Amino acid sequence: MNKVTVLNENDLRKILTMEETIAAVEEAYKQKELNKAFVLPMIFHEFEAGVADMDIKAGVMPEIERYGLKVVSWFKDNPAKNLPALFGTTLLFDSKTGAPCSLLDAEYITGMRTGAAGAIGAKYLAKKMAKTLLIIGSGQQAFFQIAAYLTVFDSISDIFIFDPLDANKANAFVTNLATPLESLLAKNPTKKVSLKNTNVSAVTDLAQTLEKSDLVATVTPATTPIIKAKWVKKGTHFSCIGADISGKEEIDPQIFKDAIIIVDDLQQAITVGETERPIKEGVIKKADITGEIGALITGKVAGRTTDDAITIFDSTGIALQDLAVSNLALKIATKENIGQTVFL
């Protein structure tokens, strides 16, 4: 029989820190660029259009002797059945034997690795000493974005929260943010971070807020642009997170026209990411994309060239992020005897 470690959300909350998650995701991007890790084709299936679907992201990471996949299912009517609308499960395997190693709840890992991705894009593309961060969206992912940005940037003094549908949700998010965020940030092993020197506020005037925002993270399921090109000031960095299936779109395609564009995976970005619409509308060509984030991290391509440049990181989400963070969680769980063990 083979030993498999099962880790639920509570286990993962004990195990994962944002600082270590960022390091794991950044290393995964590097491994992909160096052809030491590989993304497999994504599978998406709609059981019923607009009602129920699933997607599967898979990858191989020989350097850490792992391969695996994440299955995410969305069933719109589940809340009426007292069930979550979204379920996510990750399976991790030993790449030397094919034996399953771990079964993990994917929701918390997805939140952490996605937050990490947005901040990594900003780390390599934004102006140095960026002071102001605007989050578009006030769902759970906004929480992880803030945790990651504060871990990466010591210079942030103001964070603005804008909800495109309901200003009350942005206010509630700000009101309830401090305690869980401080708890997560306090776990960072070396980078001690606090909200003490950062003002977080809900905003309602998006155009006015963009005039004073150095960093913008978009984390909504929007299918029409929320941010217009005419509102964007010189030097702004965008980490576009929400677009992960065809048709989603958060920022005006015209913003891409003169921007420096970096993506996590080129094929995914042009088919299901924020980059999809600008290419389809002829605003940019595939050749206008500077490269993938791994190439930027390893120095194969240049990022920001001037303080006035507009930069975009299109993060569609790749399986290697999930596998790297899942493996990190498994290592810590094994060391600290956390989780349940089953034998298959």
Tell me the catalytic residues.
Answer: 70
Q: Rounded to 10 degrees, what is the CA torsion of 281, 29, 24, 152?
A: -60
Return the amino acid letter for 329. A
CA distance linking residue 137 with residue 217, whole number of Å: 9
Cβ burial, residue 30 (10 Å; 0-12/13-18/19+): middle
Distances (CA, A) of 247 to 137, 142, 217: 18, 21, 19
Tell me the sheet residues that pair with 72: 55, 88
Q: By the 8 A CB rule, do 291 and 278 touch? A: no
How many residues belong to the chain?
344
Q: By the 8 A CB rule, do 148 and 118 touch? A: yes
For residue 313, the SS3 value is strand
What token pair was written down for 290?
A: 């500077």
CA distance linking residue 261 with residue 275, whole number of Å: 9
Tell me the sheet residues that pair with 160: 134, 201
Work out the angle at residue 70's Cα, subtended by the Cα atoms of residues 66 and 75, and round it to the nearest 5 degrees: 170
